[in-house]
Amino acid sequence: MIPKSSIISAFTGMGMCLVLWQGLAAAVHRTILPSPIQVIPVFAGSLFGELGCHFLASTGRVLSAMAIAVLTAVPIGLGLGQMRNIDRFFSPLIAIIYPIPKIVFLPVIYVMFGITDISKVLLIAIIIFFQILVVVRDEAAALPKELILSVRSLGAGRRALFRYVYLPASMPAVLTALRISVGTSVAVLFIAEQSLTAYGLGYYIFVETYQVLRYPEMYAGIMAMGLLGLILYAAIAGLENRVSRHLSRDEYR
Amino acid sequence: MIHVADLGFSYSNRKPLFNAYNWKAGEGETWSIIGPSGCGKTTLLYLLAGLLHPTEGDIRIAGHRISRPRPKTGLVLQDHGLLPWATIGNNVLLGFKIRQLYGHDARHTPDDAQLDTQTIEETVTYWLDRLGLSRLKDAYPSTASIGQRQRAAIARTLALNPDLLLLDEPFSSLDAPTRADLQDLLIQLHGEASGKRMTRVLVTHDINEAVYMGSRILVLGKRVNVSPVVFENPGAGRESYRQMPQFSRQCEALLALLGQNS
């Protein structure tokens, strides 16, 4: 699924990270920068305890946000890509909202949806929504007319076109958009979790450890958050590889 | 088989391509449609396929007025129209997948279509083999040559057992030997049991192709088409026709006729 070389490179990267960290820790030599030798045992020890709970809470939020974004943005994007008139009407609106950093809407969302998990999930979902919406729309609009006509001539109506043409055509782009959004999503999650919750890595890092000066634990939290981003990124890249097999040209037998 | 009655058609805000146009094609006949670009030959084919709708008049195929793509009509376009993300084998399977999705609903699937997996597998295997694509079953279209892709498009269409095969300049992006090869293939298929009663309409701008492939040739003109101009070409339908002196005479005669019409 994922090429061996990229797995090796991932581990090499992690190793280099640890070496750099160790070097910096030794050079700075202060409690605000504990060495990985100090942090890793804390990380390993609490991963199946307190930290693990926060990790799961954060993972749940990101995954729900992704699911909501995909399930809404894909159909709307496919619709806009097929119906040029409606697309022309909405595209100025989308073009304006798309680049706005959605985190600024956090207070608005809290006011509208209350201080619940829904608000945090929704904020991240909105960010991913626009990323996916734009690529799916463009992908659907770029499908050759002849391809659609050919498939229609095989008897396909809207349902079959969606299932056999539009959906598989937009899958690689959806996954690419999702993968690119992982960084922003985790970053926004971190900020959103810093207040008005009692669970999540953002809360753990900011409230439970940073504010009470538990530095090794804070770094364990940072590691967990980094790991969350990394796992999501790698998992999506793996899926992307699977659905984009036709794009590699070495399949000839 | 095909019954075009009082057809009127124009794209919005443009001069009409057809006006009170009548044309008939019998079952099992092989037609070529030729004319200069912009004369409406592809439009006519799309109208027959149910992908466009007449502005006036109507088109009946096998007795039924068509308002949407008809399941027993096959269509092959110049740009093969294969799904790039599916293997050649899965592309040939696509029509059956679509039929299985809808089931026997009388709109998307012909009543006599077999939808059990084994029959489908056998049919797909037969057509892949018949068009020399067995080795490419698991390859993606991007790795196949243009000729092979066009073969796959033909296999995909013929696997559904159409009684009317519409082709829109199917060979114009192929090199000369591959083109000749596929023209011969279509002629052979017409002689085979599976293609016996199949009516074929091929749109082309190539005089040689029109004469080689169509025993009757419909000539369209640059101005609005009002009455059909039909060029009879009874010699077509044999692979040896290309070498006959009669073939080149017919090509010249058709060229002259095209000159008068444009």
CATH number, span A38-244? 1.10.3720.10
Query: For residue A253, what pLDDT is reported?
Result: 32
Residue type, B43: T
> Same structural domain for residues B13 and B27?
yes
> Same structural domain for residues B155 and B181?
no
Sheet holding B229-232, edge to edge: B73-76, B164-168, B199-204, B30-34, B216-219, B229-232
Average pLDDT rounded to a whole number, residues A212-241: 94
Spatial CB neighbours of B50, under 8 Å, sequence gap ≥ 6? B66, B67, B68, B69, B70, B73
Domain end, chosen from B105, B131, B161, is at: B161
Report CB contact under 8 Å: B71, A155.
yes
Check if A145 contacts B (Cβ < 8 Å): no
Domain end, chosen from B140, B161, B182, is at: B161
> Same structural domain for residues B208 and B241?
yes
DSSP secondary-structure letter at B168?
A: E
The C-alpha atoms of residue A187 and residue A200 are separated, in whole angstroms, by: 13
What is residue B77's three-state secondary structure?
A: coil
CATH code of the domain containing B181: 3.40.50.300
Report how many domains make up chain B: 2
Write out chain B residues lying below 8 Å of A151, CB-based: 81, 83, 94, 98
The answer to whether the beta carbons of residues B60 and B23 sit under 8 Å apart is no
Give tens-digit pLDDT for A55-70: 999 999 999 999 999 9
| Chain A / chain B CB contacts < 8 angstroms | 98
Q: How far A23 CA lies from chain B's nearest CA (Å)?
A: 48
> Same structural domain for residues B180 and B248?
yes
Cross-chain CB nearest to A159 (options B81, B101, B156): B101
> Same structural domain for residues B58 and B78?
no
- Which range has the worst mean pLDDT, A133-137, A186-190, B236-240? B236-240
Write out chain B residues lying below 8 Å of A156, CB-based: 98, 108
> Same structural domain for residues B15 and B142?
no
pLDDT higher than 80, residue A17: yes
The C-alpha atoms of residue B183 and residue B241 are separated, in whole angstroms, by: 12
pLDDT tens, N- to C-terminus, chain B (262 residues)? 899 999 999 998 888 999 999 999 999 999 999 998 888 999 999 999 999 999 999 999 999 999 889 989 999 998 888 999 999 999 999 999 999 999 888 778 887 788 888 999 999 999 999 999 999 999 999 999 999 999 999 999 999 999 999 999 999 888 898 899 999 999 998 878 655 688 999 999 999 999 999 999 999 988 888 888 999 999 888 888 988 999 999 999 999 998 887 6
Has this prediction a pTM greater than 0.90? no
Query: For residue A65, what pLDDT is reported?
Result: 97
> Same structural domain for residues B176 and B206?
yes
> Same structural domain for residues B148 and B122?
yes
> Same structural domain for residues B42 and B110?
no
What is residue A246's three-state secondary structure?
A: helix
Query: For residue B38, what pLDDT is reported?
Result: 85
Domain end, chosen from B161, B192, B219, is at: B161
Report CB contact under 8 Å: A152, B156.
no
Q: How confident is the model at residue A250 (pLDDT cuts 50, 70, 90)?
A: very low
> Same structural domain for residues B66 and B77?
no
Neighbours of A129 (CB within 10 A): 25
Structural domain of B93: 73-161
Q: Which residue on chain A is closest to B104 by alpha carbon? A: A155
